[in-house]
């Protein structure tokens, strides 16, 4: 049964687990998909158009994805009610949602910000490990675990200049990339972000964090990353935005990507 059919008959499927990792794994298995739709919507003069277009993208692609990610430039102009409305639709399709705000502040600010995100219906949040644990991300991790929410740590971005930051060498010989992998392991987070444009970094991360921590890889398509190479290197989930969102037919493009990866997905 497709997700679209399931929404028409909500009693046809059980209520999904509240635990983020279990939810996305279940979603991925049921759809045979490792694709996460990133709602990379460009500027709109009217907020109502953002909400409408975001919902239409979710409806069009729901059968081919396993989760939805909101970029900061979509979250910023929307109200909590708008975000909740979109997340309610995502939940109807039994999909988790991820808030990509790269959270990076002191504990009180982080705590308040994430409480609003949880209230808006998000399943997980992406955080920046640079800020550290004590007095910063400790309260977020503790609260998320109690609520069954997911914490995903930003480890290596997908843009061309990523090496300028994540490749910086510390006094002990490690790079920031190495440090962030160590923090992700120590903090027992749910996932890490490693860009699809760096399959060698994905491979290195897989060897360091094991199988329990999931690897989420943005950067395929518009930024030049190869989705299949990313999966082969060790990615668990591919975050794809503009190549779907900006295509003439997002549904067909999502279906094309889904089918191109299906032989790999079915055997792994």
Does the residue 86 lie in any domain? yes
The predicted structure's pLDDT at residue 27:
96
The predicted structure's pLDDT at residue 9:
52
Q: Is the pTM of this model over 0.85?
A: yes
Does the residue 242 lie in any domain? yes
Does the residue 12 lie in any domain? yes
CA separation for the pair 156, 108 (Å, rounded): 26
Whether the per-residue pLDDT at 235 is higher than 50: the answer is yes
What confidence category does residue 258 fall into, taking pLDDT thresholds of 50, 70 and 90?
very high
Does the residue 194 lie in any domain? no
Does the residue 193 lie in any domain? no
Does the residue 75 lie in any domain? yes
pLDDT tens digits along 105-130: 999 999 999 999 999 999 999 999 99
Whether the per-residue pLDDT at 81 is higher than 90: the answer is yes
Question: Would you say 212 and 22 are in contact if contact means Cβ atoms under 8 Å apart?
Answer: no
Question: Would you say 238 and 215 are in contact if contact means Cβ atoms under 8 Å apart?
Answer: no
The predicted structure's pLDDT at residue 156:
87
The predicted structure's pLDDT at residue 1:
57
The domain in which residue 83 lies consists of 3-153+218-266
pLDDT tens digits along 43-66: 999 999 999 999 999 999 999 999
- Phi-psi map region of 21: left, alpha, beta (phi>0 left; psi -120 to 50 alpha): alpha
Q: How would you class 220 by CB atoms within 10 Å of its CB: exposed for 0-12, middle for 13-18, buried for 19 or more?
A: buried
Does the residue 164 lie in any domain? no
Find how far residue 177's CA is from the centre of its chain: 19
DSSP annotation string for 228-245: HHHHHHT-SEEEE-HHHH
Number of domains in the chain: 1
List residues with catalytic annotation.
Answer: 102
Q: What is the mean pLDDT of the chain?
A: 91
What confidence category does residue 2 fall into, taking pLDDT thresholds of 50, 70 and 90?
low
Q: What is the CATH number of the domain that holds 39?
A: 3.20.20.70
**% of the chain beyond a pLDDT of 70:** 92
H or E, element range at 59:
helix 47-61
Does the residue 212 lie in any domain? no
């Amino acid at each position: 049964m497709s997700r679209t059919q399931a929404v028409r008959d909500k009693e046809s499927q059980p209520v999904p687990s509240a635990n983020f990792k279990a939810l996305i794994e279940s979603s991925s298995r049921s759809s045979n998909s490792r694709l996460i739709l990133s709602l990379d919507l460009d500027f709109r003069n009217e907020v109502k158009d953002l909400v409408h277009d975001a919902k239409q993208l979710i409806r069009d692609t729901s059968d081919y994805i396993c989760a939805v990610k909101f970029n900061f430039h979509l979250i910023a102009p929307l109200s909590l009610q708008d975000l909740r409305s979109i997340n309610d639709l995502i939940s109807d399709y039994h999909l988790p949602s991820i808030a990509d705000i790269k959270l990076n502040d002191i504990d009180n600010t982080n705590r308040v910000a994430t409480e609003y995100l949880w209230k808006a219906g998000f399943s997980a949040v992406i955080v920046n490990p640079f800020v550290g644990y004590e007095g910063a991300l400790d309260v977020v991790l503790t609260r998320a675990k109690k609520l069954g929410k997911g914490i995903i740590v930003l480890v290596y971005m997908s843009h061309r200049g990523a090496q300028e930051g994540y490749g910086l060498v510390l006094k002990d010989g490690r790079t920031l990339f190495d440090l962030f992998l160590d923090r992700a392991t120590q903090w027992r987070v749910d996932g890490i972000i490693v860009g699809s444009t760096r399959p060698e970094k994905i491979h290195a991360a897989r060897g360091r964090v094991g199988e329990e921590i999931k690897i989420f890889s943005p950067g395929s398509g518009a930024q030049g990353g190869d989705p299949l190479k990313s999966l082969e290197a060790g990615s668990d989930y591919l975050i794809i935005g503009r190549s779907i969102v900006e295509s003439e037919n997002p549904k067909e493009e999502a279906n094309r990507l889904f089918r191109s990866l299906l032989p790999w997905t079915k055997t792994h």
